[in-house]
Amino acid sequence: MNVAIITARGGSKSIRNKNVMLLDGKPLVYYPIRAAREASRITKTYISTDSPEVMQVGRENGCEIIVRPEELCGDHVNHGEVIKHAVEYADAREKDLRNVVLLLGNTVMIDGELLDSALGMLDNRPELDSVMSVWEAADDHPLRSLEIVDGLLRPYGDPNRQASTERQSYPKAYYYDQGVWAFRKECVQRRDGPSPWWWMGKRSAPIVRNWVTGRDIHTRLDAGFSEWWLANYPDVKDL
């Protein structure tokens, strides 16, 4: 059995009540719920939250609610501990739970096809611990990153670092795109995944998406971008 777990806390500072703000007429958290419902490999969807508004949206859309304990609420809680608590909660209620799809409550650019692809990889490759959707860096490659020290810019982490202006010469680098994490339930106990995603296990395979599709929402600009994606879906999802 596979379940989806959506994490969607209350108290956002970037946009007030962000996870229930309306986007194309639907609360933001509705979109990961919809993706989980579209996925044929997912049997049940849970939402981990401390927000009564998110709980209401979840119940209206057939989700089981995980009420976060006080120690897992607030801005500075490690997301991994929230995930571990939710996986253990689901595992105690689903006798044959195998894999978990973890979704963010403020992500729009996902669908059931993506979730089924990730779970299919876990089914077909028993050596894997997890699957993560990523995108390939270009202008934002780590070799082009900067930091500010004493008010001045310098290469991030190493002031003597040299890098070519030719991006094609860089080794390929990838970033998690806020789309999907899929992992075997026991990974949350081992805590040996790639930093900072310790709940993903040692052997994590990529789904490389050609466009920065999975960006989560933190600003009004992000919200507008997601609305554009919704208006053009499904034509843009594989760009």
* Cα distance between residue 22 and residue 27, in whole Å: 4
- Residue 159 and residue 101 share a domain: no
The pTM score is: 0.92
Return the SS3 of 84.
helix
- Residue 185 and residue 154 share a domain: no
Q: Is the pLDDT of residue 210 over 80?
A: no
Number of domains in the chain: 2
- Residue 194 and residue 166 share a domain: no
- Residue 214 and residue 194 share a domain: yes
**What's the confidence (pLDDT) of residue 239?**
44
- Residue 95 and residue 34 share a domain: yes
143 assigned to some structural domain: yes
> Residue 151 belongs to what domain range?
138-171
Q: Is the pLDDT of residue 187 over 60?
A: yes
- For the sheet with 99-104, list strands across it: 64-67, 44-49, 2-7, 99-104, 174-184, 130-136, 204-208
- Residue 156 and residue 52 share a domain: no
CATH code, 178: 3.90.550.10
237 assigned to some structural domain: no
Q: What is the pLDDT of residues 142-175, one digit of tens each?
A: 999 999 999 999 999 988 888 888 888 899 999 9
* Cα distance between residue 164 and residue 170, in whole Å: 8
Q: What is the pLDDT of residues 116-143, one digit of tens each?
A: 999 999 999 999 999 999 999 888 899 9
The confidence band for 190, taking pLDDT boundaries of 50, 70 and 90, is very high
238 assigned to some structural domain: no
User: What integer is the mean pLDDT of 192-219?
Assistant: 89
Q: What is the pLDDT of residues 42-64, one digit of tens each?
A: 999 999 999 999 999 999 999 99
Please report, for residues 20, 113, 202, the alpha-carbon distance to residue 42 in angstroms, rounded to integers and kept in the order given.
23, 11, 24
Q: Looking at the DSSP assignment, which residues form a beta bridge with residue 178?
A: none
218 assigned to some structural domain: yes
